[in-house]
A and B are shown apart, each in its own frame.
Chain A
Amino acid sequence: MTPRLRLAMLLAALGMAGAAPAGAQVLGGLTYSWANPAGDLSDKFIGNDSWLGVSVEGRRFLNPNVTVGISAGYTAFYESTTEAIYFPGGTVSGEQYRSMNVFPLLVTGHLYSKAGGRIQTYIGLGVGVYYMRQLMDVGSGTVETTNWIMGFAPELGFILNKGSEKEIAIFGKYNYPANAGKYIGGESGSYQYLSVGISLMARR
């Protein structure tokens, strides 16, 4: 386990063990999301959007309008292409299969608008690590890289209050792994993506 990952897990643990008042509510849920590649991900590797994104999230209320929590997810981008890929010192063209599997593990914080209405708006920010697994089949072989990258994810969402303990949230989140790592071709990059999803959440 790398120092960065250990730091992220420590931060996550601290986030969940925050000084919440006794009896504080917890919001947890499962999310499905669509994602659109951006930054170096779309410029250099995959242009296809992803319909394969899931995550699980837990938030603890510090007060009625503030939560801290953690989020763990998975998003897969993939495409078959004949588009040439350029890297320092070379080029590959022809038929290729490319994929990027992203596992974000983030400590999150959210601010909520005043409760009571049917729709509650919130903004959030996640900070943590992204495990990026990049793969390319070309010719008779496979080239693969893995990277742990620090990053952050600003978020905007709406919670539809159904008047019960179960809620639905719709959100947009921009995932911004830092410009770092060593991807196929030996270059660093910032493989970003915008995800839009729906969460089924339960409040306890």
Chain B
Amino acid sequence: MRKFLRATGLAMAVGAGLTACYPERASQPNDYASVTTVYDTLFSFGSAVTFYVPDSVVHLGGTDDISHVYDSLIVARTAANMVAAGYTRILDPLLADQADLTLNPAVTVSENYDYTSGDWCDIWGWAYPWICTGWIPDYPGDVVGYTYTTGTIFIHMADLSSGVPPAVSRPPVVWTAGINGAISGSSSSALAQSIADGIDQAFDQSFYIRRVVTP
């Protein structure tokens, strides 16, 4: 029995040691480029018809050292995917509040950006500055429970028809995409392609967004 216990201890120690090294794991976790999308399972995307996307991209956190040259690409690609999904774009900013869905693209400009703390004022303050004056709910904790590196693109889609915080307790964001590693050092053409591919992938894997259009 003593030998058996010794062998058991040895085996468990070997097991613990093996779990510590994790074969084939990247030495730098940010080696993994990825696209994460989450959505409000209670929201009926089919009930929305129109959408609005502002012509600017919010740069979140830290010192802004990311070029704005890709902002127009991000906005255009986002809008193109929404149109392809069956929605009608509202272009006039004066009519923005009439849109069923509002999309806000954003880019992180700080290393290890903590998304879960929420940046309602940064992201939505341009259109609804009063939301920064009162209590603001956090973004849902399960949206993206980890940090993001510089150059991650976020696209937030909100149904603002019922109001915005603090008038409503439930965050009005119905869909969020986090495209990690999309904007990081490489040539401009490769970057543009990476951005376009990432945004396309976010919509491709979110099949529930597509409207069923009656012919």
Contacts and interface: CB of A to CB of B under 8 A. Distances in A.
A180 interface: no
B190 interface: no
A78 B22 contact: yes
Interface in B81-112: 112
Interface string A95-127: 111010101000000000000000000000000
Contacts of A72: 8, 11-12
B22 A140 contact: no
Contact of B206 (A78, A91, A135): A91
A27 to B, nearest CB: 10
Interface stretch (A52-60, A148-156, A159-167): A52-60
Nearest to A97: B25
Contacts, number: 133
Contact of B36 (A56, A95, A138, A142): A138
Contacts of A28: 3-4, 7
The range of chain A's interface size is 35 or more
B205 A93 contact: yes
Consensus secondary structure, chain A interface: strand
A89 B38 contact: yes
Contacts of B149: 139-140
Interface of B: 1, 3-4, 7-8, 10-12, 14-15, 18-19, 22-26, 29-41, 112, 142, 145-149, 152, 178, 180-181, 201, 205-206
7 contacts: A26-B1, A30-B7, A56-B7, A90-B37, A91-B37, A93-B205, A139-B146
